[in-house]
Amino acid sequence: MSEVQHEPANATEYIKHHLTFLTSDEVNHTGFHLDTFWIALVLGLLFIGIFSLVARRASVDKPGRLQCLIEIIVEMVDTQIKDAFHGKSKVIAPLSLTIFCWVFLMNAMDFLPVDLLPWLAKHLFGIHYLRVVPTADVNQTFAMSISVMFLIVGFSIAAKGVGGYVKELFTAPFHASGTAMTIVLAPINFAFQLIELVAKPISLALRLFGNMYAGELIFILIAMLPMSAQWILGGPWAIFHILVVTLQAFVFMMLTIVYLSLAVEDH
């Protein structure tokens, strides 16, 4: 390390320390957020590994508890797709399942003790900064939401063709009967279409980020209290946060399904 590291001396330094990312530039704390990337990647691989293992060992006669849990999740996701997605796609089911489980796992990192992983990282690898909730990083949430935006465009083109999608950009939501009026309304329609397209990833990203960042900050503040107060306040907040973690994963998945359903429908 090129700078002197020390333990946080007061509450302000403690909060700042826990809200500092492990970055590629260790001096100025700028650049690529390595902790967000690696933790999100490990959790994604964990999701794939668990589901693959259960799929290979699935039993009809004697299903285990993990298999039953995964079947409940898969059935829940499948039900939401049947209710909300009105097109036909082989991608939407695995995509929705991946979104829900991956976002849930990233959100659930908030349940680990605030100082646990940073302490292990410091004493095992000499890493002095580590944020363990990837979805509390706006870069991660925007990366996922922008991916959804590209999927919206891709689904639209796949359903309507390039010509049909371009036509929709200039003729919806305001329709005109005459050619002259269609030309006049084309710039307005195009502007509204762009606003709608850009607003979707922004709302997706900021909703998830805002909720998880607030939850992370509250856990940090609780960790600064005496141990007795931590048990009194931390327990109820953790129980309530289970709902927040699950709900945010569900909302991100559902909005993605709805947006993709709208993409394949004609106005």
Structure tokens at 119: 């302490």
Catalytic residue among 145, 189, 211, 261: 211
Catalytic residue among 59, 207, 228, 261: 207
Q: Residue 29 burial by CB count (10 A; 0-12/13-18/19+): exposed, middle or buried?
A: middle
Backbone angles phi, psi at 31, to 5 degrees: 100, -155
Six token digits for residue 198: 């850009």
> Which residues, other chains included, contact 263 with Cβ-Cβ below 8 Å and sequence gap of 6+?
151, 152, 153, 155, 156, 159
211 is catalytic: yes
Whether 177 is a known active-site residue: answer no
Q: Which of 24, 52, 57, 203 is catalytic?
A: 203
Contacts of 241 (CB under 8 A, 6+ apart): 110, 111, 215, 219
- Asked about 107 being catalytic, the answer comes back as no
Which residues form the catalytic set? Answer: 203, 207, 211
